[in-house]
Amino acid sequence: MVTVFRALDDQTRRVILDELAASDGKTLFEICSILTTRHGLGLTRQAISQHLGLLESAGLVVTERRGRSKFHYFNPVPLSEITRRWPITERND
């Protein structure tokens, strides 16, 4: 299990989450083409696959099979760990 903090400590992984949050349910091929063409990130498919694996291990990405293809979805639930640990409270000073 990878912590949510480690998963977020990488620019490529944050961009992947941005793209999945904007429009969910993407194949590895679609994520690769978006990272290359929209963000100029010329990573190998294997590298992107590893980033997705790490995000999945942290629970920030979940995968689902539809037909014979695998789709990746953003799961924001682990992010609540951050505000639970450091609640946002009103300051009166």
Residues that bind other proteins (CB under 8 A): 26-30, 33-34, 37-38, 45, 49, 66-71
Nearest to 31 by CA among 74, 72, 65: 72
- Give the relative orientation of helices 28-39 and 45-57 as an angle to the nearest 10 degrees: 110
Residue nearer to other proteins on the CB measure, 9 or 24: 24
Is-contact 27 69, C-beta < 8 A? yes
Task: Give kind and range of the element (H or E) at residue 66.
Answer: strand 61-66
Q: Which is nearer to other proteins, 3 or 27 (CB)?
A: 27
Residue 84 amino acid letter: R
Q: How far is the CB of 8 from other proteins (least distance, A)?
A: 24
Q: How far is the CB of 78 from other proteins (least distance, A)?
A: 25
Closest separation in Å from C-beta 72 to other proteins: 10
Closer to other proteins at the Cβ: 12 or 49?
A: 49
